[in-house]
Amino acid sequence: MCFDDRAATWDDPDKVARSAEVADAIRRRLDLTARPRTLEIGAGTGLLSRALRADLGPTTLADSSPGMLAVAAQVIAEEHLDGWTTALADADDASLPGGPYELVLSQLALHHMEHPRAVIGRIHAVLAPGGHLAVADLDHDPEGAFHRAHGDFHGHHGFDRDHLARWLAEAGFTDVFVETVTMLTKEVEGEARAFPLFLATARRPA
């Protein structure tokens, strides 16, 4: 999947509305009153962080797609998001940029990463003690229906919530909580199908 080619038209009303729903769920689960220093991985154009902009401190939008980050940088400049920056980083390759952070976000990105379990370990490493993770992603889709139209998809067909919760606990996270946030509707072979989107939150112990 080449995200560079999709960057210019990535933001659309459906994605903006979905990001607002995920942002609301994060606000319900986590206390953001101290405006956490934040990293979003696989941020794309930064839709989730932007939906939380009033709640976040200095924010880094990290992604492996230069095209997505170019759009993100343009929005940061146009909307005067002071203290926000972009970072070109492949979460599978290396340690995550900067830190420590009080909050690490991810929306519909972990399933694109080759080694999600290792990425969870890197998130733990870059969080300050007491910091939180909030990951929104697809439930396990055993038929691979969500990505069927994307012939070049090489990621994971969503996640089993129990597996994800176990990976989080094994990485050292506590207070693991997973809930359904919304449904994504997508046409699959001429039929509208609904795919649940979950939010997993967890805390690095102080």
Ligand X SMILES: C[S@@+](CC[C@H](N)C(=O)[O-])C[C@H]1O[C@@H](n2cnc3c(N)ncnc32)[C@H](O)[C@@H]1O
Tell me which residues touch ligand X (CB under 6 A): 3, 15, 41-44, 47-48, 63-65, 68, 90-92, 107-109, 112-113
Whether 25 and 199 have beta carbons less than 8 Å apart is answered as yes
Shortest separation between residue 162's beta carbon and ligand X, angstroms: 23
Which of 68/104 has CB closer to ligand X? Answer: 68
- Looking at residue 66, its amino acid is P
How, if at all, do strands 84-88 and 59-63 pair?
A: parallel
Which of 111/204 has CB closer to ligand X? Answer: 111
Which of 169/183 has CB closer to ligand X? Answer: 183
Tokens of 21: 């729903």
Shortest separation between residue 44's beta carbon and ligand X, angstroms: 3
Shortest separation between residue 10's beta carbon and ligand X, angstroms: 6
Shortest separation between residue 114's beta carbon and ligand X, angstroms: 7
Q: 3-class SS at 186?
A: strand
Which of 154/206 has CB closer to ligand X? Answer: 154
**Integer CA distances (angstroms), 189 to 18, 132, 144, 196, in order:** 23, 39, 12, 18
Angle at 11 between CA 52 and CA 136, to 5 degrees: 50
Whether 102 and 132 have beta carbons less than 8 Å apart is answered as yes
Task: Provide the sign of the torsion angle of the four alpha carbons 52, 57, 62, 65, taken in this order.
Answer: positive
Shortest separation between residue 206's beta carbon and ligand X, angstroms: 28
How, if at all, do strands 174-188 and 191-203 pair?
A: antiparallel
Which of 30/96 has CB closer to ligand X? Answer: 96
